[in-house]
Homo-oligomer: A and B are copies of this chain.
Amino acid sequence: MTQHTHTELLETLHECMTACNHCFDACLGEEDVKMMSACIRLDRECADMCNYLENAITRNSPFVAELAAACAKICEACGNECKKHEHEHCQRCAEACLKCAEACKKVA
């Protein structure tokens, strides 16, 4: 793994965590919260895993590949759920998640 790729991955993970947490926060403030329940749940999963992986990468963890494999699955699931909703925060979250899923797959 080159340092360059990790720099990019760290940025992608950070954007994904930020988008997921913003979406989590915004979904809880929507009129129809019930419709967003899967989104809220997956936003938490995805933000937390991206956050965890960022920490692991910067400490030079020997398990980046294993963690990235799990993270890719979570990002993909979150991106696919968010994609279904028209809210701007969901659309932006979907984009960040699907980009992050691809980046994670490359190191997995």
Q: Residues of A with Cβ closer than 8 Å to B?
A: 14, 17-18, 21-22, 24-25, 28-29, 31-34, 36-37, 40-42, 44-45, 47-49, 51-52, 54-56, 58-63, 66-67, 69-70, 73-74, 77
Contacts and interface: CB of A to CB of B under 8 A. Distances in A.
A70 B63 CA distance: 8
Given A28-B37, A37-B28, A40-B40, A47 B59 contact: yes
A13 B33 CA distance: 29
A33 B39 CA distance: 13
Number of copies: 4
Contacts of A40: 28, 40
A22 B58 contact: yes
Contact of A55 (B31, B41, B51): B51
Contacts of A28: 37, 40-41
A105 to B, nearest CB: 13
B44 A59 contact: yes
